[in-house]
Chains A and B, each alone.
Chain A
């Protein structure tokens, strides 16, 4: 079978692994051509299909659970005070 050109292939012609392709996709680093290729690849690759859902779920969970918490209320004031003292000195 004549496979289409793989847009993830590196300059040296090295064939990318599923995990390498998946990472580029979930991190939003893929070109339009790479996204199209991966969509059709996922249709025939069960590990990629399953990993995609899992990796995206973990990424969303990290964003929603680990980003919270504002800096202490007095931090900006302390920084500005310190800068004021440094520049005055």
Chain B
């Protein structure tokens, strides 16, 4: 079965293209075809949330979407949060400061989930943050540092946008 298709999409603001098999996952296209290995694959069946990216601004499991379905769409991965040479995104800075990561495997998924969440909910309480993060698994820090980081980031993002 060799039906391959050409796809063209925007990834982190850059126009990218490729020729892919129908069955290729978006996550594998990002990692293996584009070399964007910041997007991690944990469970590959939509449970762990590590592969979460933004598709047209919406948090999406990239292991549950085919690369061909991303044709014409705009994707943001963790690499797009703070392009080379730029300061860390406020969320990344907060994760660093509040011990929101240890091994870092789950971190890209948490960050991309929170980018969408904080955009829609600029002033969340702790319960809302915990619910928003219920679809992401972390196996080393526990969640307290991550929740603290999300709350700290929401405060600093509000300050920045208020200026």
Q: Do A and B assemble together?
A: no
Residues of B within 8 A of A (CB): none
Listed in ascending order, the chain A residues whose CB lies under 8 Å from chain B are none
